[in-house]
Amino acid sequence: MTTETLEFQAEARQLLELMVHSIYSNKDIFLRELVSNASDALDKRRLAGLQDEGLSADDLHIEIEADKEARTLTVRDNGIGMSRDDVVELIGTIARSGTAEMLRRLKESKESAELIGQFGVGFYSVFMVADKVTLLTRKAGEETGVRWESDGDGTYTIEPVQSVEEAPEGTSVCVHLRPTDEDDALYDYADEGKIREIVKRYSDFISFPVLMAGDTLNSMKALWARPRSEVSEEEYREFYRHVSHDWTDPLDVIQMRAEGTFEYEALLFLPSRAPHDLYQRDARHGLQLYVKRVFILDDSRELLPDHLRFVKGVVDAADLSLNISREILQQDRHIQLIRRRLAKKVLASVKDLMTKDAEKYRTFWGEFGPVVKEGLLDGSEDHKAILDIASFASTAGEEPTTLADYVARMPEGQDKIYFMTGDSRAQVENSPHMEAFKAKGYEVLLLTDRVDEIWVEAVREHAGTEFKAITRGAVDLPSDEEPSVEEAGAYAAVLAWLNETLDDVKDVRLTTRLTNSPACLVSDTDGLTPALEKMYKAMGQELPPVKRILELNPQHPLVGAVKTAYDQRAGDPELAETAELLYGTALLAEGGDLADPARFAALLADRLSKTL
Ligand code: ADP
């Protein structure tokens, strides 16, 4: 027989190396990962049996065999199995997006073990306890089996196996155990007592029997069908790990049951950390779909709206066909109904967290807020519920605020929710646009997530209070005085001249919004903001240049001086340069980019040298 020696893919090799040096302290979990994989394979086999008459799916089970003499531990399943190509692709490489990024962070970080936990390394975790692993597998219905072996050093061997005794349908993983080293939490995994303990702790809910020496080690109870009071936190935690492939603990457990014409049960989890691939299109998001306890589909994104794609868990629907496909799922009326109900329930649970466990809520919103806010973009019916659970940075303090709290703090006379968008808190907070609001004691929300730029275009109000961008249109602070008529008259000529001289602005006018700064730039009431302009351009959209309005503070000495100078020597070319500097300063103050920084610097240097 031909034995081939192949190399693991580069990223897989790095991950393996981390495992061999076993940086993760809890080594017991390798068995959880093997049992979990076996259970997934049995789910697939059961499903294949339902769809293909010729394929039997009886007596599905997992068997564990420990050999103290040989120091081996074997986990065997009669599940779906793998072909040669499957083995190379699934075991020899890591297809998951973001692996390279995670490895880079691992190298830089000292808390690497924790990061590994976030990623979940699955099968490879076996190399924490093994110095060699032999995997024998045969895909259901295939002529030839496969023998795969590796000691985790970067290469593996693979060869075909004919004998059905040696490689029956399904998969067996034989772990050649490293010497026990209890100081390093490397226990004796050939010990039946230890195996029993691990299976009970981590894999009790697995819906197929896990057998050892004739005993069934697990209770096989579907967690979602059991009343909450009967299930321990630890059981929920382990189940979460099984469905999510995340090794950290969930933040919250959400259980629901719908009775009547369309029955279903759901057990959902809010993760405590955003996965590294939250924004990647090909990432594995979504819930597991079961029909009457039979696993049907993984990663069903149809069961929740996209803005809740980080939620993990199981939906078990009683009245769906076992043959349901993804395509049908997308259109099924009942599924759409479930999706709406689950979304409502998840958002309501977050609202509960806000009052019951503020810390957890803060964690949740910090990790997932930007994703949840995507739900504000599509006109979905979750709008109100999302704004109810949202919180935002604000000028009122370091802690984020909810809209309800913001509105409750609004002083007499304020009737709008004011906000400003931008790249960072510091930039927004120090922007000249903020001055009048500071002076008046009006709180402003500081919106610095990318998605904020977009949803503020779509959402006009919350609970009857209008949103208002402080960088758009004229300031409309109630009871604010407009620049006086005399002032306006006196400035008319210089404003008209500035407007003509500065190509990049649409208009020049006086304002009361500034107290300390000479000038600022504002968008038209319905004009594009600079951030939006940037975003559209990044998406490759052609846009005519977007011009904004230059607003001047007549109280500022520089503005007064420009006016006097213009009145006295209108044709002076230096005056046009001063106008440019005034405009450039306004742009810099809001964190914008100058079109010609070198020219600006030269003009400024020239001016400064004259003042010395
Ligand atoms: P994960 O389970 O998170 O996908 P693993 O590294 O544990 O990652 O496994 C990689 C893939 O190998 C699995 O997704 C599965 O397709 C395949 N696999 C692993 N173990 C088995 C098994 N016992 N039977 C069939 N396929 C398996």
Structure confidence by residue, pLDDT tens digits, 206-265:
999 999 999 999 999 889 999 999 999 999 999 999 898 888 899 999 999 998 878 999
228-360: CATH class: alpha beta
β-strands 250-258, 264-271 pairing: antiparallel
> Could you identify the atom of ligand 1 that is nearest to the CA of residue 122?
7
Start and end residues for every CATH 3.30.565.10 domain found in the chain: 4-216
Beta bridge partners of 72: 67, 176
Calculate the dihedral angle through the C-alpha atoms of 193, 24, 367, 361, rounding to the nearest 10 degrees.
40
CATH code for the part of the protein at 391-469? 3.40.50.11260
- Quote the tokens at residue 259: 């009775």
Is the CB of residue 387 less than 8 Å from the CB of residue 407?
A: no
What does the pLDDT read at residue 394?
97
Distance 12 CA to ligand 1 centre (A): 14
Q: Name every residue whose Cβ is closer than 8 Å to that of residue 207 and which is 6 or more positions away in sequence.
A: 39, 43, 220, 222, 293, 295
d(CA 125, CA 27) in angstroms, rounded, equals: 8
Smallest CA-to-CA distance from 373 within 333, 336, 400, 341 is with: 400
What does the pLDDT read at residue 530?
75
Smallest CA-to-CA distance from 215 within 233, 231, 200, 237 is with: 200
Pick the residue whose CA is nearest to atom 12 on ligand 1. 90
Distance 81 CA to ligand 1 centre (A): 10
Is the CB of residue 104 less than 8 Å from the CB of residue 18?
A: no
What does the pLDDT read at residue 245?
83
What angle in degrees, to the nearest 10, is found between the helix axes of 29-51 and 233-244? 60
What does the pLDDT read at residue 288?
92
Task: Please calculate the CA angle 24-25-26 and round it to the nearest 5 degrees.
Answer: 100
Residues enclosing ligand 1, CB less than 6 A?
Answer: 33, 37-38, 41, 77, 79-82, 90-91, 122-123, 171, 245
Which fold would CATH assign to domain 485-611?
A: Four Helix Bundle (Hemerythrin (Met), subunit A) (1.20.120)
Distance 45 CA to ligand 1 centre (A): 13
- Quote the tokens at residue 560: 């007064």
Mutate to test the pocket of ligand 1, among 43, 74, 123 (most ligand atoms within 8 A of CB): 123
Start and end residues for every CATH 3.30.230.80 domain found in the chain: 228-360
Mutate to test the pocket of ligand 1, among 11, 16, 40 (most ligand atoms within 8 A of CB): 40
What does the pLDDT read at residue 472?
85
Distance 92 CA to ligand 1 centre (A): 11
Task: Give the CATH architecture of domain 4-216.
Answer: 2-Layer Sandwich (3.30)
Which residues, given as ranges, of the chain have pLDDT below 70?
A: 1, 22-23, 95-98, 109-120, 379, 476-483
Pick the residue whose CA is nearest to atom 4 on ligand 1. 122
Start and end residues for every CATH 1.20.120.790 domain found in the chain: 485-611
Distance 37 CA to ligand 1 centre (A): 5
Distance 24 CA to ligand 1 centre (A): 20
- According to DSSP, residue 523 is labeled B
What does the pLDDT read at residue 114?
62
Is the CB of residue 512 less than 8 Å from the CB of residue 480?
A: yes
Start and end residues for every CATH 3.40.50.11260 domain found in the chain: 391-469
β-strands 215-216, 210-212 pairing: antiparallel
Q: How far is CA 184 from CA 27, 151, 253, in A?
A: 9, 20, 33
What does the pLDDT read at residue 480?
56
β-strands 72-77, 62-67 pairing: antiparallel
Pick the residue whose CA is nearest to atom 9 on ligand 1. 123
Is the CB of residue 118 less than 8 Å from the CB of residue 273?
A: yes
